[in-house]
Amino acid sequence: MIRMVAQRLLVGVFVMWGAASLIFLIVRAAPGDPATVLLGPDADRTQIEQLRESLGLDRSLGAQYVSYLGDVSRLDFGQSHRLGRPAMDAVLDRLPATIDLTLTATAVAVIVGLTLGMLAGGRPGGALDRVVSACTIALQSFPTFWIGIMLVLVFALGLGLLPSSGVGTPQHLVLPALTLAFPFIAIIARLTRTSVAETMREGYVQTARSKGLGERQVLLGHALRNSLIPVVTVVGVQVGALVGGAVIVENVFAWPGLGSLVVDAVANRDYAVVQGVTLLIAGIVVVLNLIADLLIAQLDPRIRTGAV
Amino acid sequence: MTKTREYGRSRLVRLAATATAGAALLAACSTTTGGDDADASGASGDVTAAGTYPIESLDPHGAQGASTGTQLAGQQIFSRLVKPDPDGTLKGDLATAWKPNKAVTAWTFTLRDGVTFSDGSPLDADDVVASFQRMISLNGPNAGNFPVSTMKKTSATQVVLSSPAPDASVPGKLGTFYVIPSGVGKDDSAYFNHPVGSGPFTVDAFTPGESLVLVPNKKYAGNKPAPRRVTVRNIPELSARMTALRTGEVDILWGIPDDQLASLKGEKNLTVRTVPSSAEFTMWFNSSTPALKDAKVRKAIWQAVDFKTIIDKLYPETGRAADAPVTGVVLGHVPQPPVAYDAAAAKSALTDAGFDFSKKLRLQFANAEFRPFIQAVVSDLQKIGVKADPLEKEQATFTEDLIALKWDINFQQLATPSYDAASNLGRLYTCEANRNGYCNKQLDALLASAGATADKQKRTDLYGRASAIIWRDAVGMYPMSVSIAYAWNSDLKGFTPDASGLPDFATVGTGGS
């Protein structure tokens, strides 16, 4: 187990280095630079050159990369010249909002998705299975922004029950979290349904039935644990993707999270913030995958002992 | 053992079901801010506005200093030497008087007595000079207005701003210069989280990119601000801003496009107004492009586009045919003869001038909201055989290409925040600036003369003559003067729509306050 964790951590370090290098190159490959954007269209060439020099952008790409890696290794992501403060301060200011949103969406998605998947997979081909399958396909098909707009129209503008945008109270969280959760519910429900349906056909499940256990006991006591393995893997990966998906939801609901920060940063060529957000998200994904691996190892002893 | 485990799991399932039902109940039964806020704000004196751009920083001297968000915040929190009225007329703020020397190379500003910052400390000439020096040393966009200027204190209530060349537009350009206490460092983020200023409001709470909450500055030298609290929220999506206005979560909104105005006008609780601004649709030709070197060709292309119809269809409320390179609210505006749409005459003139119809013109622009306008222009040009390639660019790429002249026709909504033609015509149309490939020594001389006299009438005459050359030689096409559309909760009293899109909240009264 310790060896597995050490291996995963080592891989994590390489992933972080790869992400850091890739994002460094990608932001600099994009046309337009921070000096031009900072000074705007009114600036003349001399002003732009002066600012480029003070931002260190006149140095060679190699020199910039070496000093960047040195800074990142000390968790220093540099100064956001656009925002006039350290990039990591700006990123950490927005992180709680994104965590609130993604954790709530994940919790709703896991609870609802697992429940629906179990109910549908417990009786494949039944009426409930068909209803759940139809609903999950629909949920996956609707674009996130459309779901968000519909929820606002119904619950904020139509019924006046919930605020349409912003932060401040738990009510503000309901619509953006539901918008973000809906496609995720569909993914988890479909995966759980398939996994449960397959597990219910396994020999050990038949044995449990032959012992006279009811379907509910068979499902919860014997099939669920094994059915969860692929679900945990996907949840680990999808939570990282949720942060990306949050960009659209944050815009629709004026939710001040990392998504809107990074969109503005990319548009304004704010290298420090783009790099900071990307590496933070990469770090979160690495940690979540590690947690998912550990959970899977708990669920499946063969993985823990290295049998598979 | 099995029974215990099963009990545990069924409890888990029940818990999950309860949590889900709870979430649904929360959605169904919660008390909402939507719909009720309008009344609440009216009764309590709270005003909520949704700006068009986020407020990322409160530092008016730094990189964000020229941004709409920081300017909007700055004018509520800090004072300026001079400031524009809602219609663009300059008036004193910290300064009671200002006058140039004979050569217009030095401007003396006399400061108001007895002004204090919100912490009670006095504001004097040292603070003004230190603020100016800080703005210059930070080399942000506002510093570009004063590239070689210096400011000195001549007495406790007097400062002098000097520049090597005559500059009559100094007062107008100082509309974006804000005074903060001396001693604030270059990167003093702690100060700018809760800045001390001498404007009508102080900062109650500030979350960059999210919201700014203002409360009245008890030490403010002017009239006591009417609202108890002002919240400026960032709502990036236009549709979300409109929804928030309708539900009453927001009281004031501006920058509303024409296609949304009709529906807002139908709302009985809202007041909708448009106000002429300093912004103008400006479509420069790149006169260094061989195909566009000839003024006759440029004028013919202008003539080929039916701008009147395009404006009537796309901007019936916020557009008006422009009659000069700067709008009517800008000092130096002198109306020019209209360029009438005549496709046949345009085609004939282009043929006579030997225009190469096979060449595709690169028409660059930067914002998706202008796409329908650009497409309409391209369509009209196509009718007479002129091919134009609409190139929608990201802002960063657009700016870089703009400066490098990598375009044939450039579209911008160009504002003149100083309300003085010097910072538009005087800065962008000289041979030295080379912003559009056009160079005319006679125009340079007129612009230099206009910048060197403080006499308003003389300046207007000189800018009028400069405008006539720009118009005659079709340095660009100038199709439309832009009005800004505002909508606000009708319960609010004393709200004045502002020509620059930076409304003053100090005068906004609410029903019950």
Partners of residue B187 in chain A, C-beta under 8 Å? 79, 84-85
Question: Nearest C-alpha of chain B: how many angstroms from A145?
Answer: 11
In this structure, chain A runs to a length of 308
- Tell me which chain A residue has its CA closest to the CA of residue B9: A220
Closest CA to B349 of B380, B309, B388, B384: B384
Judged by CB atoms closer than 8 Å, whether chains meet at B141 and A30 is answered as: no
Candidates B2, B11, B33, B232, partner chain A, best to mutate (most A CBs within 10 A): B33
Question: Nearest C-alpha of chain A: how many angstroms from B422?
Answer: 13
- Tell me which chain A residue has its CA closest to the CA of residue B23: A174
pLDDT in tens, B426-464: 989 999 999 999 999 999 999 999 999 999 999 999 999
Judged by CB atoms closer than 8 Å, whether chains meet at B26 and A170 is answered as: yes
Which residue of B63, B239, B398 is in closest CB contact with A84? B63
Q: Is B17 on the interface with A (CB under 8 A)?
A: yes
Please identify which residue in the block is written with the tokens 């004072």: B79
Q: How far apart are CA B74 and CA B65, in angstroms?
A: 9
Residue pairs between chains A and B whose CB atoms are closer than 8 Å: 192
Using an 8 Å Cβ cutoff, are A144 and A253 in contact? no
Residues 169 through 208 of chain B touching chain A, CB cutoff 8 Å: 187, 189, 192, 207-208
Which residue of A44, A114, A164 is in closest CB contact with B240? A164
- Tell me which chain A residue has its CA closest to the CA of residue B1: A221
Residues 452 through 481 of chain B touching chain A, CB cutoff 8 Å: none
Judged by CB atoms closer than 8 Å, whether chains meet at B412 and A40 is answered as: no
pLDDT band at A308 (very low <50, low <70, confident <90, very high): low
Which residue of B10, B140, B236 is in closest CB contact with A254? B236
> At a CB cut-off of 8 Å and minimum separation 6, what does A35 contact?
A48, A49, A51, A52, A55, A57
Q: Which letter does DSSP use for residue B122 in this model? A: B
Q: What is the pLDDT of residue A7?
A: 84
Q: What is the pLDDT of residue B31?
A: 37
Partners of residue B402 in chain A, C-beta under 8 Å? 41
Q: Is B60 on the interface with A (CB under 8 A)?
A: no
Q: pTM of the predicted model, to two decimals?
A: 0.81
Judged by CB atoms closer than 8 Å, whether chains meet at A162 and B30 is answered as: yes
Token reading at B315: 């901007």
Partners of residue A274 in chain B, C-beta under 8 Å? none
Report the amino acid identity of residue A151: L
Judged by CB atoms closer than 8 Å, whether chains meet at A111 and B19 is answered as: yes
Using an 8 Å Cβ cutoff, are A262 and A247 in contact? yes
Q: Euclidean distance between the first and final Cα of chain A, in Å?
A: 13
Strand B319-321 to strand B270-285: parallel, antiparallel, or no bridges (unpaired)?
A: unpaired
Domains of chain A: 88-304 (1.10.3720.10)
Strand B360-365 to strand B211-216: parallel, antiparallel, or no bridges (unpaired)?
A: unpaired
- Tell me which chain A residue has its CA closest to the CA of residue B36: A160
Question: Nearest C-alpha of chain A: how many angstroms from B351?
Answer: 34
Judged by CB atoms closer than 8 Å, whether chains meet at B63 and A38 is answered as: yes
Q: How far apart are CA A106 and CA B353, in angstroms?
A: 66
- Can you list the positions of beta strands (E) in chain A? 79-80, 85-86
Q: Is B57 on the interface with A (CB under 8 A)?
A: yes
Residues 243 through 302 of chain B touching chain A, CB cutoff 8 Å: 243-244, 246-247, 249
Judged by CB atoms closer than 8 Å, whether chains meet at A44 and B192 is answered as: no
Judged by CB atoms closer than 8 Å, whether chains meet at B399 and A41 is answered as: yes
Q: Is B66 on the interface with A (CB under 8 A)?
A: yes
pLDDT in tens, A32-65: 888 888 877 777 777 788 888 888 888 999 999 9
- Tell me which chain B residue has its CA closest to the CA of residue A110: B16
Question: Nearest C-alpha of chain A: how many angstroms from B279?
Answer: 15
SS3 at position B424:
coil
> At a CB cut-off of 8 Å and minimum separation 6, what does A193 contact?
A116, A117, A118, A120, A121, A124, A129, A132, A133
Judged by CB atoms closer than 8 Å, whether chains meet at A37 and B240 is answered as: no
Q: What is the pLDDT of residue B62?
A: 87
Report the amino acid identity of residue A9: L
Question: Nearest C-alpha of chain B: how many angstroms from A157?
Answer: 6
Which residue of B207, B397, B433 is in closest CB contact with A31? B397
Candidates A145, A165, A211, A264, partner chain B, best to mutate (most B CBs within 10 A): A165
Q: What is the pLDDT of residue A75?
A: 86
Partners of residue A29 in chain B, C-beta under 8 Å? none
Judged by CB atoms closer than 8 Å, whether chains meet at A267 and B396 is answered as: yes
Q: Is B6 on the interface with A (CB under 8 A)?
A: yes
- A243 pLDDT above the threshold of 90: no
Which residue of A36, A81, A107 is in closest CB contact with B399? A36
Q: What is the pLDDT along chain B (513 residues), one digit of tens a residue?
A: 333 333 344 444 444 444 444 444 444 333 334 333 434 444 458 999 998 888 989 999 988 888 899 999 999 999 999 998 877 788 999 999 999 999 999 999 999 999 999 999 999 999 999 999 999 998 888 888 888 899 999 998 999 999 998 999 999 999 999 999 999 988 888 899 899 999 999 999 998 888 999 999 999 988 899 999 999 999 988 889 999 999 999 999 999 999 999 889 988 899 999 999 999 999 999 999 999 999 999 999 999 999 999 999 999 999 999 999 999 999 999 999 999 999 999 999 999 999 999 999 999 999 899 999 999 999 999 999 999 999 999 888 998 899 899 999 999 999 998 999 998 999 899 999 999 999 999 999 999 999 999 999 999 999 999 999 999 999 999 999 999 999 999 989 989 999 989 999 999 987 643
Judged by CB atoms closer than 8 Å, whether chains meet at B189 and A89 is answered as: yes
Q: Which letter does DSSP use for residue A300 in this model? A: -
Question: Nearest C-alpha of chain A: how many angstroms from B209?
Answer: 7
Which residue of B10, B16, B208 is in closest CB contact with A93? B208
Q: Which letter does DSSP use for residue A42 in this model? A: T
Q: What is the pLDDT of residue B14?
A: 45
Partners of residue B9 in chain A, C-beta under 8 Å? 220-221, 224
Partners of residue B63 in chain A, C-beta under 8 Å? 38, 81-84
Partners of residue A264 in chain B, C-beta under 8 Å? 54, 56, 209
pLDDT in tens, A145-202: 889 999 999 999 899 999 999 888 999 999 999 999 999 999 999 999 998 888 888 8
Q: What is the pLDDT of residue B297?
A: 97
- Section A219-248 average pLDDT: 79
Candidates B138, B282, B403, B407, partner chain A, best to mutate (most A CBs within 10 A): B403
Candidates A28, A37, A42, partner chain B, best to mutate (most B CBs within 10 A): A42
Q: How far apart are CA B159 and CA A263, in angstroms?
A: 43
Judged by CB atoms closer than 8 Å, whether chains meet at B13 and A115 is answered as: yes
SS3 at position B372:
helix
Q: How far apart are CA B252 and CA B260, in angstroms?
A: 15
Judged by CB atoms closer than 8 Å, whether chains meet at A41 and B412 is answered as: yes
Q: What is the pLDDT of residue B21?
A: 45
* CA B11 to the chain's CA centroid: 59
Judged by CB atoms closer than 8 Å, whether chains meet at B396 and A33 is answered as: yes
Q: How far apart are CA A84 and CA A270, in angstroms?
A: 11
Q: How far apart are CA B505 and CA A122, in angstroms?
A: 61
Handedness of CA B72, B75, B81, B84 (dihedral sign): positive
Q: What is the pLDDT of residue B302?
A: 98
> At a CB cut-off of 8 Å and minimum separation 6, what does A191 contact?
A117, A230, A231, A234
Question: Nearest C-alpha of chain A: how many angstroms from B247?
Answer: 6
Token reading at B294: 């000839």
